Structure 1
Amino acid sequence: MTFTVKGYAAPAQGAQLVPFTFERRDLRNDDVAIEILYCGVCHSDLHHVNNDWGRSNYPVVPGHEIIGRVTAVGADVTKFKVGDTVGVGCLVDSCRHCESCKEDLEQYCEEGATLTYDDFDRHDGKLLFGGYSEQIVVSDRFVLRVPEGLDLKGAAPLLCAGITVWSPLRHWNVKAGSKVAVVGLGGLGHMALKLAKALGAEVTLVSRSKGKEEEAYRLGADHVLISKDEEAMNRAAKSFDLIINTVPYVHDINPYIATLKRDATLVMIGYLGELKPTVHSAPLVRFRQSIAGSLIGGLKETQELLDFCAEKGIVSDVEMVDIHTINDVYKRLEKGDVKYRFVIDMQSLKQGV
């Protein structure tokens, strides 16, 4: 059995998002049915809709920053009950038995994790639809508990933007006294500043141009370093234990490598692709430095993040939008015209266009 829900979908590459009615599966024994209250708008939603990565499956119902309320649970579910406030992030399944899954790192599932949308269910092979919709059904293992007191609207982007920066901060053991640089001030960068500061680090925003100082300090930065200022970059040589690079396009990372301490790491989380110009290996060899990548986070890490944010009072800076304006929202997203994440009030789906 299935049940019918309403949402918004891109019916084909290059098409705008339009109202779309589709079927959600009936609950399996381990499933949780969730009424969606809020859904964040991630830049990867735009990539999937536009088929920028060449693997989109239409129709695409985007959305993987989901906050909602439990409406029903499967026969074997004990962790959640009707009325609980919960979240769903980028993943809804994995193989559950490889080494990565056993270590609660489902994002690195060796058989390939199942994405929340624009992917296929591991059990019935059907195309999965995301959070730009009234309801979603997800296995309880991939549902997160939202702590009391956490602002629900601002919590939605924690499930992608937040965990994408939290995972490397934790993996590279950022703590009080760590010196962390964040390259780029957008959806990822603003969360990296907040979370690194809350972990006790001394935090520097690295930006190509001036004018972001006030915002950076408000978000938790202790310093602002202008990467075009050659003298300032020279003074920053051998300064940082970790650099979180959120820049989403090809760019020269060699100047940033020069600011790493010995044994330090520059981690790429914003750009997927070939590095140009060529990375010079001499400083890496001479000072045992590393360039690394990091992908979202596992379910255990994500729950840890939500609990930490509730304790510290941290959420994303968001602008609320109605689902009926989503195509205009995407145009603004392409221009970077948001501080710092859009979140859809899904109650707007019940209103007329």
Structure 2
Amino acid sequence: MNTLNVKAFGTVAPEADLKEMTINRRDVTSNDVEINILYCGVCHSDLHTARNEWGGTVYPNVPGHEIVGRITKVGNSVTKFKVGDLAGVGCMVDSCRECESCKEGLEQYCEKGNIQTYNGHDKHTNQQTFGGYSERVIVDEDFVLRVPENLDLAATAPLLCAGITTFSPLRHWNVGPGKKVGIVGIGGLGHMGVKIAKAMGAHVLVITTSLAKVEDAKRLGADEVILSTDKVQMKSHAGTLHFVLDCVSAQHDINAYLSLLKRDGSLTLVGAPEHPLPVAAFSLIPKRKSFAGSMIGGIAETQEMLDFCGQHNITSDIEMIRMQDINKAYDRLLKGDVKYRFVIDMASLKD
């Protein structure tokens, strides 16, 4: 198989900074499209993987799974896209396509394990996959998304992870008019959750630990904002919410948020705390409450999310950076010093 030399930014070890490198991409097969990457969002997962904090990272590692670009080449069997089309790639680039989950359009829960956009296994090259911190990417057309033309492209990139991670559970638990929804934590995920839940027609209550985020939460569309550290405010909203989306990745008292649910209410965790969260039995039993988790969505649902965001003019709040500033961005990400998502202008990679 022919390969292409592609400029990228990646790391060769957990403790090493990301730096410019050359990687090999396969040429397009009959079902592939080649995408010239214009923008790539920076997800906390990128940092975790680059530094091997979850284990299993293969080096060299090139992160990036919030990819927006323009198609420059298509295989001879491609029917869904043509050269010049805007396209997006999210967290996965393939799956087994044969298991029950894949057949139901839930490739994110592939029973054999979906193929991640980076640090996955490319069946064509028998090597690891490389992500969007690069000039271009080659992906099977079945795992490529159409990007709405009306949206700001840079601010659309984070929808491919942060957008679908919040959209999928909100949709699955039937959030909409007549539902009162709590969003815990206003960061890269939470700020998208507020925008999407509001566009779905729900009454949105933001729960935050930071007084400084109250006004920003209202700007994003929240109908109400309460401080989780204020016991009076929390008690006044106990038993009032149909659904809570928990976007917090730090340790926190999950029982405090479960107390906000009505009978048959559900709390879904999309943040990923490092350590287990203790759950009291009587936080769930008395009112038949549910505590669940959720990943990203499947390809069809991700396309539905992009179309929904196009219709409602929803994008992420971003700060644009140059590729060469990625290590500084990682340091700031660890401090929570971003509102609310870094996006790399990939044109800077040519500098």
TM bracket (short chain):
over 0.9
* Structure 2 gap ranges (5+): none
Residue equivalent to 1:19: 20
Q: How does 1:2-13 map to 2 (within 5 A)?
A: 2-13=3-14
Deviation at 1:127, TM superposition (A): 1.1
Q: Secondary structure at the match of 2:155?
A: helix
Deviation at 1:125, TM superposition (A): 1.8
Residue equivalent to 2:38: 37
Residue equivalent to 2:134: 133
In 2: Cα distance, 1:19 partner to 1:327 partner: 12
In 2: Cα distance, 1:219 partner to 1:16 partner: 34
Q: Which amino acid aligns with 2:166?
A: V
Deviation at 1:275, TM superposition (A): 2.9
Question: 2:10, 2:63 within 8 Å by CA — same for their partners in 1?
Answer: yes
User: 1:55-95: CA deviations, max 9, x gaps?
Assistant: 11111101000000001111110100000000000000000
Residue equivalent to 2:106: 105
In 2: Cα distance, 1:244 partner to 1:264 partner: 11
Question: 1:252, 1:275 within 8 Å by CA — same for their partners in 2?
Answer: no
Question: 1:70, 1:81 within 8 Å by CA — same for their partners in 2?
Answer: yes
Residue equivalent to 1:319: 319
Residue equivalent to 1:307: 307
2:240 maps to 1:217: no
Deviation at 1:223, TM superposition (A): 0.4
In 1: Cα distance, 2:256 partner to 2:241 partner: 13
Residue equivalent to 2:282: 282
More divergent stretch after superposition (119-128 vs 315-324) = 119-128
User: 1:87-130: CA deviations, max 9, x gaps?
Assistant: 00000000001111111110000000000001111343211100
Residue equivalent to 1:231: 232
Deviation at 1:272, TM superposition (A): 4.6
In 2: Cα distance, 1:158 partner to 1:282 partner: 36
Q: Secondary structure at the match of 2:212?
A: coil
2:346 maps to 1:346: yes
Question: 1:35, 1:135 within 8 Å by CA — same for their partners in 2?
Answer: yes
Identity of aligned residues (%): 56
Question: 1:35, 1:136 within 8 Å by CA — same for their partners in 2?
Answer: yes
In 1: Cα distance, 2:336 partner to 2:283 partner: 33
**Could you tell me the TM-score, scaled by structure 1's length?**
0.98
2:190 maps to 1:189: yes
Residue equivalent to 2:337: 337
More divergent stretch after superposition (120-129 vs 290-299) = 120-129
Q: Secondary structure at the match of 2:232?
A: helix
Residue equivalent to 1:66: 67
Q: Secondary structure at the match of 1:44?
A: helix
Q: Which amino acid aligns with 1:97?
A: E
In 1: Cα distance, 2:273 partner to 2:207 partner: 20
Question: 1:114, 1:122 within 8 Å by CA — same for their partners in 2?
Answer: no
Q: Which amino acid aligns with 1:135?
A: R
Residue equivalent to 1:175: 176
Residue equivalent to 1:145: 146
User: 1:271-326: CA deviations, max 9, x gaps?
Assistant: 255433x2111231111100000001111111001111111111000011000111
Give the number of aligned pairs.
350
User: 1:154-197: CA deviations, max 9, x gaps?
Assistant: 10000000000000000001111211100001000000000000
Q: Secondary structure at the match of 1:174?
A: coil
Question: 1:67, 1:155 within 8 Å by CA — same for their partners in 2?
Answer: yes
User: 1:128-158: CA deviations, max 9, x gaps?
Assistant: 1000000000000000011221110110000
In 1: Cα distance, 2:275 partner to 2:187 partner: 22
In 1: Cα distance, 2:137 partner to 2:235 partner: 51
Q: Secondary structure at the match of 2:142?
A: helix
Q: Secondary structure at the match of 2:33?
A: strand
2:60 maps to 1:54: no
Q: Which amino acid aligns with 2:350?
A: K
* Structure 1 gap ranges (5+): none
Q: How does 1:106-121 map to 2 (within 5 A)?
A: 106-121=107-122
User: 1:200-242: CA deviations, max 9, x gaps?
Assistant: 0000110123221110000010001111111111111111111
Question: 2:246, 2:269 within 8 Å by CA — same for their partners in 1?
Answer: yes
Question: 2:239, 2:263 within 8 Å by CA — same for their partners in 1?
Answer: yes
Question: 1:251, 1:275 within 8 Å by CA — same for their partners in 2?
Answer: no
Q: Secondary structure at the match of 1:154?
A: helix
Residue equivalent to 1:28: 29
**Could you tell me the TM-score, scaled by structure 2's length?**
0.98
Question: 2:194, 2:221 within 8 Å by CA — same for their partners in 1?
Answer: yes
- Cα RMSD between the aligned structures? 0.9
